[in-house]
């Protein structure tokens, strides 16, 4: 086998910029910090408006302000429900969903009641996804599996299939609030589940711990291998991150 020809420094810079150009439109620019403020979210929205990202993802209290700031742009507003605990009160999750949709949210990122699934109670988890799916009334629903807590491949696979069968438009790796967030092995299991449900197209969102262009590139390469090189788009693949944005911009600015 012929050894690959090493990239020249200039080619490496260009390759990094090409990857950043591909990843940037897939970004859900996110601030779910415990100290988040309205001013910080306004700044996040202005950054999103000027960057061509897919969406911002903010706490429910900041949805209405984000919608106002982003009016006239193509950037969507996502928010989180049942976050980050993954509780089991379906009525509360539905009420919170309806309130954020009334404020103008375009997308709902719902934490699956993953602890219920871990103790063998799949019906509680399924019931919440079904109920929030109905409440979304056509708006995009991403279901957060919290794969770092599920940990076991069989549980991640079960959570993926359950969520897709219950109507998730996306399955998402993590809240970013646990010691283990997105991992390539978990994403691979989730992509295989998405491929198995080809009769109902769905997407993948990876979230937590992605900070460099190369991190995004590893997940995109995985998606290319499993789903095909033309699959990943804002309609099928998202990256939930804030720290990553700065490295994507640096890579683009460094291109010749």
Over the stretch 84-121, which tens digit does the pLDDT of each residue have?
999 999 999 999 999 999 999 999 999 999 999 999 99
Does the residue 13 lie in any domain?
Answer: no
The number of distinct structural domains making up the chain is 1
Do the beta carbons of residue 64 and residue 104 sit within 8 Å?
yes
Neighbouring-strand partners of residue 111: 144
Q: From 235, 253, 249, 243, select the one nearest 26 (Cα to Cα).
A: 235
Buried b (16+ CB within 10 A) or exposed e, 4-31: eeeeeeeeeebebbebbeebbebbbbbb
Does the residue 19 lie in any domain?
Answer: no
Helix (H, G, I), strand (E, B) or coil at 210: coil
Residues 223-244 have pLDDT tens digits of 999 999 999 999 999 999 889 9
Q: From 139, 165, 152, select the one nearest 81 (Cα to Cα).
A: 139
Per-residue DSSP letter, 26: G
Decide if pLDDT at 5 tops 80.
no
What are the structure tokens assigned to 89, written together? 């009160």
Does the residue 47 lie in any domain?
Answer: yes
**Catalytic residue check, 142:** no
Do the beta carbons of residue 236 and residue 201 sit within 8 Å?
yes
CATH number assigned to the domain comprising residue 199 = 3.20.20.70
pLDDT band of residue 4 (cuts 50, 70, 90) is low
What are the structure tokens assigned to 90, written together? 């379906």
**Catalytic residue check, 47:** no
Does the residue 158 lie in any domain?
Answer: yes
Residues 22-61 have pLDDT tens digits of 999 999 999 999 999 999 999 999 999 999 999 999 999 9
Pairing of strands 107-111, 55-58: unpaired
Which of 96, 106, 169, 172 is the catalytic position? Answer: 172
Which of 31, 109, 169, 247 is the catalytic position? Answer: 109
Does the residue 17 lie in any domain?
Answer: no
What are the structure tokens assigned to 51, written together? 């960057």
**147: Cα within 13 Å, side-chain hemisphere:** 27
Neighbouring-strand partners of residue 29: 56, 241
Does the residue 62 lie in any domain?
Answer: yes
Does the residue 2 lie in any domain?
Answer: no
Residue range(s) defining the domain that contains residue 119: 26-254
Does the residue 10 lie in any domain?
Answer: no
Burial class (CB in 10 A: 0-12, 13-18, 19+), 36: middle
Which of 31, 96, 106, 205 is the catalytic position? Answer: 205
């Amino acid at each position: 086998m012929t050894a690959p020809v090493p990239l020249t420094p200039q080619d490496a810079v260009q390759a990094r910029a090409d990857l950043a150009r591909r990843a940037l439109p897939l970004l859900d620019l996110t601030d779910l910090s415990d100290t988040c403020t309205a001013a910080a979210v306004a700044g996040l929205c202005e950054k999103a408006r000027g960057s061509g990202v897919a969406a911002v993802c903010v706490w429910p209290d900041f949805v209405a302000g984000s919608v106002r700031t982003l009016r006239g742009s193509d950037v969507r507003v996502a928010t989180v429900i049942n976050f980050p605990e993954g509780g089991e009160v379906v009525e509360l999750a539905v009420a919170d969903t309806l309130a954020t949709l009334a404020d103008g949210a375009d997308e709902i990122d719902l934490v699956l009641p993953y602890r219920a699934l871990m103790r063998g109670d799949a019906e509680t988890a399924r019931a919440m996804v079904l109920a929030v799916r109905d409440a979304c009334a056509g708006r995009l629903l991403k279901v957060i599996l919290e794969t770092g807590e599920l940990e076991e491949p069989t549980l991640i696979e079960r959570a993926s299939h359950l969520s897709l069968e219950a109507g998730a438009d996306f399955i998402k790796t993590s809240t970013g609030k646990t010691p283990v967030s997105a991992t390539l092995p978990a994403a691979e299991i989730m992509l295989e589940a998405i491929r198995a449900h080809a009769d109902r197209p769905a997407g993948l969102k990876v979230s937590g711990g992605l900070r460099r262009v190369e991190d995004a590139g590893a997940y995109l390469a995985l998606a290319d291998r499993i789903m095909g090189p033309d699959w990943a788009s804002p309609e099928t693949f998202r990256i939930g991150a804030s720290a990553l944005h700065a490295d994507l911009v640096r890579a683009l600015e460094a291109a010749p």
